[in-house]
Amino acid sequence: MKSLAELEKVQQEVYRRINLRTLKGSYTVSVAMDDCGMAAGARQVLLTILDEIDQQGLENIRVVQTGCLGDCKLEPVVEIFQEGHPKTTYIQMTEEKARQIVKSHLVQHQVVEAFTIGSNKK
C-alpha cells in the first residue's frame, strides 16, 4: 500500500465481498463446500460466481456456503433459491457453467435446464 486511498479501496472491496455472503437478497446462491465438493472444484466455482456477480453489477444476491448434500458424484453442486419459486439444483459445476448460470439464471431469470439435476434423469 502506498496511500490511504489505496487502503480504503481495498477495505471497500472486502466489505462488498462480505455483503455478498451475508445480506438477504432476491436470490440466495448456495455452494456445497464439503470435502468432496472442494476436491471436485467447488472453491473455484464459488469464486467464479462471486466474480461474475460483481462483473454483472448484480445486487441483492446472497452467496453462501453449505456442507455435504449427500451425492458426491454430482459435485460441485450449486443451489439457487428464490422466494416463491422452487429451488434449482445445478450439478457437476465448472467455472464456465458458473458464469453461464449467473448470466442466465440471475440476470435473465432463466434456469439453465441442461445443468440441473433433473436433466440427468433418464
Name the residue ranges covered by the structural domains of the chain.
Answer: 23-120
pLDDT of residue 109: 92
pTM, two decimal places: 0.77
pLDDT of residue 3: 80
Which residue in the block uniquely carries the three cell numbers 432476491? Answer: 26
Give the CA-trace dihedral at 56, 13, 96, 36, to 10 degrees: -140
pLDDT of residue 105: 96
Mean pLDDT in runs of 10 for the chain (122 residues)? 76 66 73 93 96 90 88 94 91 97 95 85 45
CATH architecture of 23-120: 3-Layer(aba) Sandwich (3.40)
pLDDT of residue 122: 40
Helix (H, G, I), strand (E, B) or coil at 28: strand
Contact indicator for 52, 100 with CB cutoff of 8 Å: no
pLDDT of residue 7: 77
Which residue in the block uniquely carries the three cell numbers 428464490? Answer: 82
Give the integer Cα–Cα distance in Å for 79 and 36.
16
